Structure 1
């Protein structure tokens, strides 16, 4: 699972028919403190996240198990919007 921040959107007018209703967002991994790090990735949004929000992203075969994605050709999916992160 990846902790990330939504930094943008992707508009694709032509795409696989199984992604026709999918919202695609650009997510950049973040540290638990919220500092941007790593390479941005494109993820299918399953929770109606917005730009600037901290999110949870699953990747690989787990992404296809996210709500409504079934047999979609997806490698990353946003499955949660993070309210707080607490570390001890």
Structure 2
């Protein structure tokens, strides 16, 4: 899984079977300091994330498992909207 920030949306009127009614978001992976941490990805979203929100993304086979055995061409899926997080101080 990775942490990311929703920076946009993708609209596609024609999609593969199994992708109907899926919102597609553009996600910028970030580190826990909020800095960009990799190339942007398009992720399917069924939980209602919006622009500017921090989200948890699952990628690859774990993202497809969420579709109960259906063969859906999804590589990344929003699995959580982040309310907050805490990182321990490592300067000790």
TM-score normalised by structure 2 residue count = 0.87
Aligned-CA RMSD value: 1.5
1:43 is aligned to 43
The yes-or-no answer on 1:73 pairing with 2:73 is yes
The 1:75/1:32 distance shift into structure 2, 3 A limit, reads same
- For 1:38 and 1:84, how far apart are their aligned partners in 2? 21
1:12 is aligned to 12
Runs ≥4 in structure 1, deviation > 2 angstroms?
A: 66-71
Q: Count matched residues.
A: 88
Q: What are the superposed Cα offsets for residues 22-69 of structure 1, whole Å, 9 maximum, x if unpaired? A: 100000000112222311000000211001000000000000122668
- For 1:77 and 1:43, how far apart are their aligned partners in 2? 5
Find the structure with the greater CA-based Rg: 2
Is contact 1:60–1:76 with CA below 8 Å preserved after alignment?
yes
2:31 is aligned to 31
SS of structure 2 residue aligned to 1:19: coil
TM-score normalised by structure 1 residue count = 0.91
Q: Structure 1: 5+ residue runs without aligned partners? A: none
Q: Structure 2: 5+ residue runs without aligned partners? A: none
